[in-house]
Each structure stands twice: as structure tokens, then as C-alpha cells.
């Protein structure tokens, strides 16, 4: 066997080992993320600490963007959190639910109702972010979002600007 052929075989061997190692690492990371998601879901279900619940909801929203199946089991808890008495929990839930590919026919009407009726501006801004994250699946909310930025005075508010951003995200072309 020639030297160049031996080096080629050695290179192929190292490549195979590298690919195998990469696959194993991906499996370990996926298992770790799944445990992390389960831990966050448990926090939402059992914690009495609003900060811990907010963090868990936010983290599930992030995990759901990486892999929807990781956060899908949390959708019922996050939907319940939309009605929580703490506005920070409602706000976190509104953003997260928009990231998780929940059923838009179910989610959009709830978010629109929150947009109209919630007393917290922080929650309303979070709702616009959740709708924006849903993209064109939230088209049913555009008229309500337009109401929030209808006049020059409204456009200058944080909520008005957030509504304008959401409209742009909802109407953005996805090619």
C-alpha cells in the first residue's frame, strides 16, 4: 500500500470517527434539552415564585424556537398562564405562546381579547410580540393592532410602536 493511499484511508477513518462523535453529541444535547424543558414545565405547574414561573415560560419559548416538540407539552400550562393574576406571568406567556406554534384559531382570539381588555400595558406590548412571533398565522389580529397605532399620538407610544412592529412581522413575506 502506498503512503498516499494509507493517508487517505487514515483521513477517512478520522472523518468517520468525527461524524460518529458529532451524532453522539447531538443526541446528548437533545436529551439534555428535553430534561430542561420538563424541568421548566414542572416549575410552571408547581412554583409559587412568579419570577421562577416567568423564567420557565421564557425558557420554554426559547426552546420551542429551537425544537417545537420540546415545548409543545407546555402549551396547556402556558395557555393557563395567560389568565394568571400576575401581569409579568401573563406577559411572558403571551410572548411564549406566539413562539410555540400553538393553534392560531385558539390562540389569536385569546391574545386579541387580552390586547383589548388587559389593564397592563406591559402585557399588551407582550401580546403584540407574541402575535408578531406567530407571523402570518396572526393575520386575524391586524385590525386590532391597527387600532393601537391609528393616530399620530398612539403611534408614538410604546404600545403603538409595538403594534406597528407586529403588523410588519405579520405581513412580512416568507419566501
Q: 42 is written with which cell numbers?
A: 414542572
Q: 118 is written with which cell numbers?
A: 388587559
Dist CA 106 CA 44 (whole Å):
21
Query: Nearest CA to 107 among 75, 85, 84?
Result: 75
Exposed e or buried b per residue across 62-92, where buried means at least 16 C-beta atoms within 10 angstroms of its C-beta: ebbeeeeebbeebbebbbebbebeebbbbbb
Q: Check residue 33 and give its pLDDT.
A: 75
What is the residue extent of each domain of the chain?
A: 3-171
From first to last of the 175 residues of the chain, give the pLDDT tens digit. Answer: 676 776 677 667 656 665 555 555 545 445 577 888 899 999 999 999 999 999 999 999 998 888 888 889 999 999 999 999 999 999 999 999 999 988 999 999 999 999 999 999 999 999 999 999 999 999 999 999 999 888 777 778 899 999 999 999 999 865 4
The tens digit of pLDDT for each residue in 109-131 reads: 999 999 999 999 999 999 999 99
Tell whether domain 3-171 is in CATH 1.25.10.10.
yes
Handedness of CA 122, 84, 139, 41 (dihedral sign): positive
Amino acid at each position: 500500500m502506498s503512503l498516499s493511499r494509507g493517508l487517505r484511508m487514515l483521513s477517512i477513518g478520522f472523518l468517520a470517527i468525527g461524524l460518529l462523535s458529532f451524532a453522539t453529541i447531538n443526541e446528548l444535547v437533545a436529551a439534555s434539552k428535553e430534561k430542561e424543558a420538563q424541568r421548566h414545565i414542572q416549575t410552571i405547574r408547581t412554583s409559587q415564585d412568579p419570577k421562577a414561573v416567568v423564567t420557565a415560560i421564557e425558557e420554554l419559548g426559547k426552546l420551542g424556537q429551537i425544537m417545537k416538540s420540546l415545548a409543545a407539552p407546555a402549551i396547556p400550562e402556558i395557555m393557563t398562564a395567560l389568565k394568571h393574576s400576575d401581569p409579568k406571568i401573563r406577559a411572558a406567556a403571551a410572548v411564549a405562546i406566539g413562539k410555540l406554534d400553538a393553534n392560531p384559531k385558539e390562540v389569536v382570539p385569546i391574545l386579541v381579547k387580552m390586547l383589548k381588555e388587559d389593564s397592563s400595558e406591559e402585557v399588551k406590548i407582550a401580546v403584540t410580540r407574541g402575535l408578531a412571533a406567530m407571523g402570518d398565522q396572526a393575520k386575524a389580529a391586524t385590525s386590532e393592532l391597527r387600532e393601537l397605532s391609528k393616530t399620530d399620538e398612539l403611534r408614538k407610544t410604546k404600545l403603538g410602536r409595538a403594534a406597528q412592529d407586529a403588523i410588519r412581522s405579520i405581513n412580512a413575506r416568507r419566501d
